Amino acid sequence: MTVESAPTARPAPKGPKARRIERGDIAEALRLGIEDFRAAPSCGLVIGAAVGLIGLLMVASVAWFDASWMVYPLAIGFPLVGPFLAVGLYEVSRRRARGEVATWGVVWPAIWAQRGRELSWMAFVMLFMFWVWMYQIRLLVAIFLGSKSFTTLEKFTTIVTTTPEGWAFLIVGHIVGAALALALFSITVISIPLLLERDIDFVTALITSVQAVFLNPPVMLGWGLIVTALVIIGSLPLFAGLVFVIPILGHATWHLYTKAVEPLPAN
């Protein structure tokens, strides 16, 4: 009688691992991002224009419903969903890094294919965070400005800049907004390009992104401030500058991701 040997246990596949980066990597990522934009400008311009158009439509919608005072928090909050809209830019940079053609004919099918993958969950996460941001604004308005009357952006601006209640609203609102933005930045700065490149679950991607931020706090926070400053500048006037800012930042984010996460092992 023969005895069958027990099957050899296979080591569990290792997940993505964050690694340390330096401040110089930010400058290098921006340089490479500009190169990608110049190499495939049509993709970048279309995506950048789409982001700017979404911003205009959101602002127009609140004006249409006589809630123009919501323009300021809405303009601040809508870029929170920007990383998901930049998936096409990540795909362009990924293909160029592999020496492949990066045109809409190959980029769009790759983007569309993500609808059934883990990346689609990230859209839910970011939209949920955006909803939380808008909800807490309305809550703070009720707490601090409930006794005030305003229907226009001008009256709202006057109240929040000339009354004690308005100053309290601004201070608390910006603190809460900064906390939400930091949380969303931490879980998305690496996770979205990671999900685009690798077949992993979105929870693992979120954890890896947070690990990358905690492993490189000065560099990652510096990158977050650069992104924030450029988006604010690009939003003036009427989000027009985002046509150029979004593509550069999107491509640069991909290159920063490749530096912050260990690459896939060679086959």
Residue 155 has pLDDT above 70, yes or no: yes
Identify the pLDDT of residue 127.
78
221 or 126: which leads in pLDDT: 221
Q: How confident is the model at residue 121 (pLDDT cuts 50, 70, 90)?
A: confident
**The tokens of 231 are what?**
């988006």
Q: How confident is the model at residue 68 (pLDDT cuts 50, 70, 90)?
A: low
Identify the pLDDT of residue 70.
73
For the segment 61-72, the average pLDDT, to the nearest whole number, is: 71
**Residue 93: is it exposed, middle or buried by C-beta count within 10 angstroms (0-12/13-18/19+)?**
buried
- DSSP string across 174-193: HHHHHHHHHHHHHHHTTHHH
Residue 88 carries which side chain, given as an amino acid letter? G
CA distance 213 to 221: 8
